[in-house]
A = this chain, B = another copy of it.
Amino acid sequence: MGEADAESRADALTDAALGGDRRALARLLTAVENRTALAEAALRRLYPRAGSAHIVGITGPPGAGKSTLVAALIGEVRKAGRAVAVVAVDPSSPITGGALLGDRVRMQAYAGDGDVFIRSMAARGHAGGLASTTSAATAVLDAAGFDLVLVETVGTGQSEVEVAAAADTTVVLEAPEMGDEVQAIKAGLLEVADLVVVNKGDKPGAQRTASQLRAMLVAAPRVGSTVVDRPRPKQPEVLITTAATGEGVPELLAALDRHRQAAAADGGDGARRARLARAEAQVWAILSERLRDRLHRGGLRDATAVTLAAVAEHRLDPYAAADELLGKLMDETER
C-alpha cells in the first residue's frame, strides 16, 4: 500500500468513524495496533479533534475484579446518558494478541448500544509500544466522541502500570485478603493512584482492607510518581465496591467526576501533566521508530548489524556502540 493510498483510505475510514460507524472505528484501532501507514494518516487527522474525553486508567492485581468493575461502570455511565469506550490491555497478549473471552461476553451485553465500545489491545514489538499504542487508541476514541475512555491494565508489569498512570484519573483496584505476592504488588501500585477501590466489598475483610489502605496512604509520602512526571498531592480517596452486584459503583463514578473537576480547578496542573505524559509517550515512540527504521533499513543497515554483532560477541561495549550508531545517524543526515 503506497502512502497516497493509505491517506485516501485513512480519510474514508476517519470520516466513517467520525460519523459513528463502529466498524470503521474498529478498523482504525486495528491499524493503530499494527502501526500501519494508514494509522499514521488517520491519527494526523484525528488528533486535533481529540482532547475532550475523560481518560480513566483502571489497574490492579490479577483477580481483583477489574473486568467486572469495568462492566458495572459501563452500565452506570450509560445510565447517565454518556458514551463510553474501553481499551483493555489484554493480559493474555504481551505477545500474541487476541481478545479474552470475557471481553467478548461483555461486548455482547452492549452489542446493540452504539455508545459503548470495547476493545482489547495488545502492543507488539519494541519497548514503549504499549504506552504509545494505548495513547494513540485513546486519542482515536476521544476524537470519535466518547465522553469517557477507560483504559484497563493488569497492575503487574512496568509498562502496564505506566499506561494506567498516564490517564487523567488513575484508579487502583484491590480486593480483600489477597496473597503475599499481591500485597507486594500493591505497594508499588498505590503510588500512581488517584482513587483506590476495594472491590469484592461483600467479602469478609473488605472494611479492614480499606482501613489498612487508608493507613498506608497516610503513612506513605505523597511524592509525585517516578513513572509519570505528575504531582499527586492529594490523598487518594478509598472506596468500597461490589462490582458483581453494582454496589458502590454510582459512588465510584461520582468520585471519578469529582477528581476530574478538581484537577481542572487546581489551575489544570494535574490534568496538564497527564496529557503531557501521554503526548510524550506517543511522540517518543514515533521518534524512536523513525530512528530504528533508519538504523535497520536503508544505508545504515549493514553497519548497524556489524555494530550489534560486535556487542553481542562482547568485542564492543554497548556505550561505544550507541555512540558509534548515533554518529552514523547524524552523518547520514548531513549528506
Contact = CB atoms under 8 A, between A and B. Distances in A.
Interface of A: 40, 43-44, 47-51, 61-63, 90-96, 100, 102, 123-131, 136, 154, 156-162, 179-182, 184-185, 187-189, 191-192, 225-227, 272, 275-276, 278-288, 290-292, 307-309, 311-323, 325-326, 330, 333-334
Contact of A158 (B159, B290, B309, B314): B159
A127 B127 contact: yes
A94 B325 contact: no
Given A127-B128, A191-B95, A47 B181 contact: no
Nearest to A305: B276
A288 B90 CA distance: 27
Given A158-B160, A318-B286, A322-B286, A95 B227 contact: yes
Contact of A318 (B128, B282, B318): B282
B187 A94 contact: no
Contact of A94 (B95, B188, B308, B311): B188
Nearest to A325: B287
A190 to B, nearest CB: 9
Q: What are the 7 tightest A-B residue pairs by CB atom distance, in nearest-first order?
A: A157-B157, A127-B128, A92-B184, A279-B311, A286-B322, A47-B317, A51-B314
A93 B155 CA distance: 11
A129 B312 CA distance: 19
A226 B124 contact: yes
21 contacts: A43-B318, A49-B314, A51-B314, A62-B62, A63-B179, A91-B181, A91-B185, A92-B185, A92-B188, A95-B161, A95-B225, A123-B158, A127-B130, A157-B158, A275-B312, A276-B309, A284-B292, A284-B322, A288-B288, A330-B330, A330-B334
